[in-house]
């Protein structure tokens, strides 16, 4: 760990796996405290390994500071809550990495948040991807 980002607080969305996880780990390695944000608290599809808890554990094992916050950026109340939780736990937000994306295999059905994935979508997936892109960064401003 270095101290280049010591005293800084980052929110990283989509941080349970892939590029988001790598970004969260890199920011923490540079000294930032990281709010690890994603929908995945439990692995519900083996094609999509990784959870926010696993990312936080990896950061803490390396000596960093992190908090796991479950949020869906398609839900406006989740956006406000994630910023409030991150600030309350880690301090003022100075870095925002909006990496959240719609995952291709689907997502847990609302009636079964840790159960089986939702059935096939009756419409093309691109409207959901497009809907997330403009709403995420615009709605996640930190004053």
Domain borders along the chain are 9-103+117-139
pLDDT at 94: 96
Tokens of 62: 């390396």
* CB contact set of 111 (below 8 Å; sequence gap of 6+): none
Q: What's the predicted TM-score (pTM) here? A: 0.72
Segments of the chain scoring below 50 in pLDDT: 112, 114-127, 129-143
- Helix (H) / strand (E) element for 11: namely strand 9-13
Class of domain 9-103+117-139: alpha beta
Could you give the 3-state DSSP secondary structure of residue 126? helix
């Amino acid at each position: 760990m270095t101290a280049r980002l010591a005293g800084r607080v980052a929110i990283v969305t989509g941080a349970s796996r892939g590029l988001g996880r790598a970004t969260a780990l890199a920011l923490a390695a540079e000294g930032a405290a990281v709010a690890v944000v994603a929908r995945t608290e439990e692995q519900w599809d083996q094609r999509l390994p990784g959870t926010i808890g696993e990312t936080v554990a990896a950061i803490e094992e390396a000596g960093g500071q992190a908090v796991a916050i479950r949020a869906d950026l398609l839900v406006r109340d989740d956006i406000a809550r994630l910023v409030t939780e991150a600030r309350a736990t880690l301090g003022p937000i100075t870095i925002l990495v909006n990496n959240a994306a719609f995952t291709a295999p689907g997502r847990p059905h609302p009636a079964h948040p840790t159960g089986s994935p939702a059935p096939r979508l009756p419409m093309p997936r691109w409207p959901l991807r497009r809907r997330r892109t403009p709403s995420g960064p615009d709605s996640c401003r930190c004053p």
